[in-house]
Amino acid sequence: MTRIRWAVALIALAAIALSVLRLEGARNGLEITRYTVGPTPVTEYATPGSDGPAVVVAHGFAGSRQLMEAYALTLAHAGYRVLSFDFEGHGRHSLPMGGDVNALDGTTRRLIDQTRTVIDHASGRTDRPVALLGHSMASDVLVRTAAEDPRTGPLVAISAFSGAIGPEAPGDLLLITGEWEPGLREAAVRYVQMVDPAASEGATVSAGDVRRKALVAPHVEHVGVLYGATGLKAARDWLDAAYERESAPDPVAATGGWIALLLAGCVALAWPLSTLLPAIAPPPAPIPRRSFWLAMILPALVTPVLLSFVDVRLLPVLVADYLALHLFVYGVLALALLWRGGVRLGGLAIWPTLALLVYGLGVFGLALDRYAASFVPTPERLWIIAAVALGAAPFMVSDAVITRAGAAAYWRRLLARGAFLGSLGLAVVFDFEGLFFLIIILPVIVLFFVVFGQMGSWAGRRTGLPLVPGLALGICLAWAIGVSFPLFSA
C-alpha cells in the first residue's frame, strides 16, 4: 500500500505540474492587467502593442471573470483587446446586485448600466465598435445593452436566452450552445429562424445588415461550453469576419481539460498526504441500521416542512440565508437522532482539522481561484462565510458521523448526500419562486460533496475521528457558499 501511495503522489504531482505549465503557457505573450472601472473589477488581456478591436466579456449567474478566461485568452492571442469584468454581486465585485430580479427596470437595468460603463472604458481604447461576448444570464444583458448603445458591434452569445432578440436586432449575432443543452439549442435555432425560417444549426444566415448563426459545441453542457475548442474557434472566426480581419491560426485556449487535470491532481494528492496525519482512533463502530435510516430520512423530510413556515432574510446573499438555516436544522436533527440511538461524536484533534482546512482552502481553493472560478472572498463576504458556517458545521459533522468518518459503505455515503439534496429539492417545491436559485446553486453543492467530501473521507478514515472532517468541511462548505452565491440587496 505504501508503494501505491507513493506512486499516486508522484502521478498527482506530475499532473499538477504539467497542468500549471500548460495553463500558464496559455497566458504567455499576453499583457494581463487588473484594474477597476468605477467599482467594477476588470481584467484586460492583450498582446503587447495590440491595436485590435475591443471585446467586452461578461459571465453568467454565479460566475466570475475566471470562468470566461478561455474565451478571453483565445481572443487576446488573436489580436483583440479583451476586457472581462465581474457583475455586481459576483466574483471580486464589492457591491451587491440590487433591484427586482423579475423586472426589466430592476436588476437587469443595473447590470446593463454597469456593462455600459465598461463599454465606455473600452470604446476609449479603439476607434471601432466594441464587440460583446457573454454567457447565460449575460447574454440577455448584452443583447439589451447592444439595443441601446450604438458603440457596440458584433455579439457572441453563449448558452443564450433573451426575450429582446428580434428579427432585426441584434444585427450581428453568433449563438453558441452546448450539445447537452437541448432547451437552449432550440432557442438558438428560433433566434436564427427569425431571419430565415428555413435555417438550421450550423448555417450562417443573413438578410440585409443582419447576420446570424446557431452553432453547437459537441459533448459539453452549460459550463463545459465555455471551454470547448469548437466554440472558441467559432467566436474568433465570427469576430474576424465582422471586422474584416484575419487572425493568426494559433490554437485556441481550450483550457478546460488542463483545469480538470489540475484539480483532479490536487484531490488525488490528498490521499497520500492523509497518511501524514496521526492515526488517533479506530474507525467508528457501524451505525445500527435503524439509527442510520432515521438520521437520514427524518431530517430530510422535517427540515423543509418546518422551514416552510419561516421567512428567512438575514444575509445579503441570494438564498444563502435559507440554505444556512436548512443546513443547521438538518444537522441538529440528524445529530439528535444519532445521539438518541447511542451514536457518539468521538474526540477532536486540532492540527489534523487545520491541515485538512488549509489544504482544502489554500491548495485546492487557490488553484480553483486562479484558473476556474472566484474562490478568494472580498472583505464583504467574510462575515457571511462566518454566519453560514454556524449552519454548515453541524450539518457536515452529522454527515461525517453518519458516514463513519468516511469508513461507511459507499452506498450509505451516497444515500446520505442524496437525502440532503432531495431535502433541498423539496424546499424548492414548497417555495419555488422564493427558492428557485437553489436549483442553480445545487451543482456547487454536488461538486463540493464529490471533491471536498472525498478529501474529508481520507482524513476521517486516517484519524478515526468524525469531528476532523466534519468541522473542517463545515468551514469549507460555508466558504464555498459564501464565495459562490451572488451578493444581493433588494
Q: Kindly write down the DSSP assignment for every residue of 375-397, as one continuous string.
A: -SPPHHHHHHHHHHHHHHHHHHH
pLDDT at position 124: 84
Q: How long is the chain?
A: 490
For cell 461507511, the residue is 408
Calpha distance 316→324 (Å, rounded): 13
180 burial (CB, 10 Å; 0-12 / 13-18 / 19+) is middle
CA dihedral 73, 75, 76, 82 (to 10 degrees): -100
49 burial (CB, 10 Å; 0-12 / 13-18 / 19+) is exposed
Helices in 244-360 by DSSP H: which ranges?
256-274, 289-307, 320-340, 350-358
Helices 379-402, 467-484: crossing angle, 10 deg rounding: 140
Calpha distance 211→195 (Å, rounded): 8
pLDDT at position 456: 96
Angle at 165 between CA 163 and CA 169, to 5 degrees: 150
What is the block-wise mean pLDDT of the chain (490 residues), using blocks of 10 residues?
88 98 96 96 94 95 95 97 96 87 79 97 90 97 96 97 95 97 97 96 95 97 96 97 89 95 97 95 89 94 92 75 93 95 89 97 96 94 93 96 90 93 93 83 88 95 95 96 85
**Contact by Cβ (8 Å): 55, 245:** no
Query: 29-254 falls under which CATH superfamily?
Result: Alpha/Beta hydrolase fold, catalytic domain (3.40.50.1820)
**Contact by Cβ (8 Å): 334, 28:** no
**Contact by Cβ (8 Å): 261, 18:** yes
184: cell is 437552449
Calpha distance 395→471 (Å, rounded): 9
For cell 504567455, the residue is 28
The DSSP element (H or E) to which 156 belongs, if any, is strand 152-158
- Spatial strand order of the sheet with 81-85 comes to 31-37, 40-46, 81-85, 54-58, 130-135, 152-158, 172-178, 210-217, 204-207
Domain boundaries of the chain, sorted by first residue: 29-254, 277-489
Calpha distance 119→129 (Å, rounded): 10
228: cell is 470547448
**Contact by Cβ (8 Å): 128, 348:** no
Paired residues of 205 in beta bridges: 212
68: cell is 470566461
Distance of CA 230 to the CA centre of its chain: 21
User: Which residue pairs, CB below 8 angstroms and at least 24 apart, start in 350-354?
Assistant: 352/277, 352/278, 352/280, 352/459, 352/462, 352/463, 352/465, 352/468, 353/467, 353/468, 353/471, 353/472, 354/472
- What's the DSSP call for residue 171? S
HSE (side-chain half, CA atoms, 13 Å) at 372: 19
**Contact by Cβ (8 Å): 294, 320:** no
**Contact by Cβ (8 Å): 93, 66:** no
470: cell is 466534519
Closest CA relative to residue 177, chosen from 192, 190, 188: 188
With H, G, I as helix, E, B as strand and everything else as coil, classify residue 157: strand
Calpha distance 66→313 (Å, rounded): 29
CA pseudo-torsion sign 363, 364, 367, 370: negative
Output the DSSP codes for 42-98: EEEEE-TT--SPEEEEE--TT--GGGGHHHHHHHHHTT-EEEEEPPTTSTT--SPEE
Calpha distance 251→236 (Å, rounded): 11
With H, G, I as helix, E, B as strand and everything else as coil, classify residue 357: helix
